[in-house]
Structure 1
Amino acid sequence: RPGAERHAPEPPGAPAADGPGTPQGPRAPLHGPAAPPAPPSAGTKAAALTRTEIVERAKTWVAAKVPYSVTSYWSDGYRQDCSGFVSMAWKLPANEWTGSLAGLAERITKEELQPGDILLFHNASDPEKGSHVVIFGGWTDAAHTVYTAYEQTPPHTRKRDTPYAYWTDSAKFLPYRYTGVTAGKAASPAAGGPASQGVASHGVAGYPGRAMFRPGAENPYVTRLGRQLVRKGFGTHYTKGPGPRWGEADRRGVEAFQRAQGWRGGAADGYPGPETWRRLFS
């Protein structure tokens, strides 16, 4: 089912406003003489990519100023709308849409965002209103309030500084990470964040990945985290020594540590990302 994209009005002094929402195309194979316009099989994804590759691929459309279109396909076979643009940057084997991209990614936090990740709003109850997706290119300020966005939007692909999470419907744009991304040097430094260290999320020394700290997880990393929280003075929520099973005491301890860094909202959700881990063990 096709969705629609809402494009935001520009701030004062910026280029002309994008105008009303624009439909996006449905899931479809890459366009070409031998590729009929039929939906591909579900669950397909491309080979692994580094963050540098994702951003460099996005930049090719920016440089070419690929015109926005829901019915046209660029020379590389990808549809010239927002979801086709992300499909191209992620080198997916088909043109996805905002309703399917999350199935090829994992939900992350604002704190964990790095170049090559996306900010996605899919309005499932009414896809014709507001659905849109942009590629995160890195923070432009130390407070993490503005970031570089690569997006396909009328009249053509562009790169621009964008307030987090987006110009409109900001609370509805959620950060996701392509499951095929591999550790590698970030393409665009992020001011004050993990990308500024030139590492991917799993490149932070000792950080095992967010999956180790999901509800019900049980592993040695949970114990290691808890002991470090106690050493740092954030172990007051434990009624007994930290153990290998992730629990509410661990989450509350991490949240207290995150708030001590001055973070609020989603950046202080109690789940350790790479920057939390780096600061906790530094």
Structure 2
Amino acid sequence: MSNVCDGFIQIFDIGDSFFIAFEDSEQILQKYRLICSSFYHSKCAEDSNVLPFLPVILFSEQVQVLGFAQICRVNNSIEGIESFSDINGKLDKSEPNKEKGGENLLSLAQKILIGRNLKKRKRALFGADAPSNLLKIRKIDHLNENNNNEKAANSNEIESCENEEELQLIINELRLRNVEKEMNSKRNLNSYGFYLLSGAKFGCDYLAYEKPPGEQHSLFMVICSDINKSLNLYNLIATSRVSTQVKKKILLAVVSPGTLLPYYLEMNWWKGDGNR
């Protein structure tokens, strides 16, 4: 099966944010600095600078980088894809992380929905032109709302479809915001010449390499952050301790919604040189 068509890399969507390419792994790695895993082998490209066996698996963020460079075409289906016996195993490995991420999004979306409903009630009670201190949502408001929700649950009161639809809209907004945040950082760092791998095992979003993994250790542990959200200091402290142990720098990429270029802050605590 040829992967090249009119100069474009042909990529096939196999579901659950996984994609597959049958040729051009050398171009994907060396020219576009995207690390792929072999479909048939568990050993990832991050363990070696040897090119992975074909076909290779790509994640949605990597495909978006190639799409932004206008050098790939994505096909929605592929004949005979069911014949790949490894596909279910590949997808199942991602399920625990996906489920955990979905639970976090649902919890955050529920808090946002409660806050919006509380704001609506206060505006209805005090009027839209009321002073901001009256309309401000306080902790006691959330506590009262939680008590009301528990009473409703005990009385078998079912949440309205309108709330369920609004909750799903909020989840979609949050998911899109997360994708935009990570994609802007990944695309920008990729344009600066970095190779990027998942940094989940180190407690960060990405590991950034100046050379292909296997030739050199990663230089940065990249943390992506929304400019409108405060950083979790406990997570930052934990990540900084890891960076101290592995002697890597932390690169904080702060993304503003609607902009393509993140702001960067380098944190280098392990040298003890005052660069904090």
Q: TM-score range by the shorter chain?
A: under 0.3
TM-score by length of 1: 0.24
Greater percentage in helix: 2
Larger Rg: 2
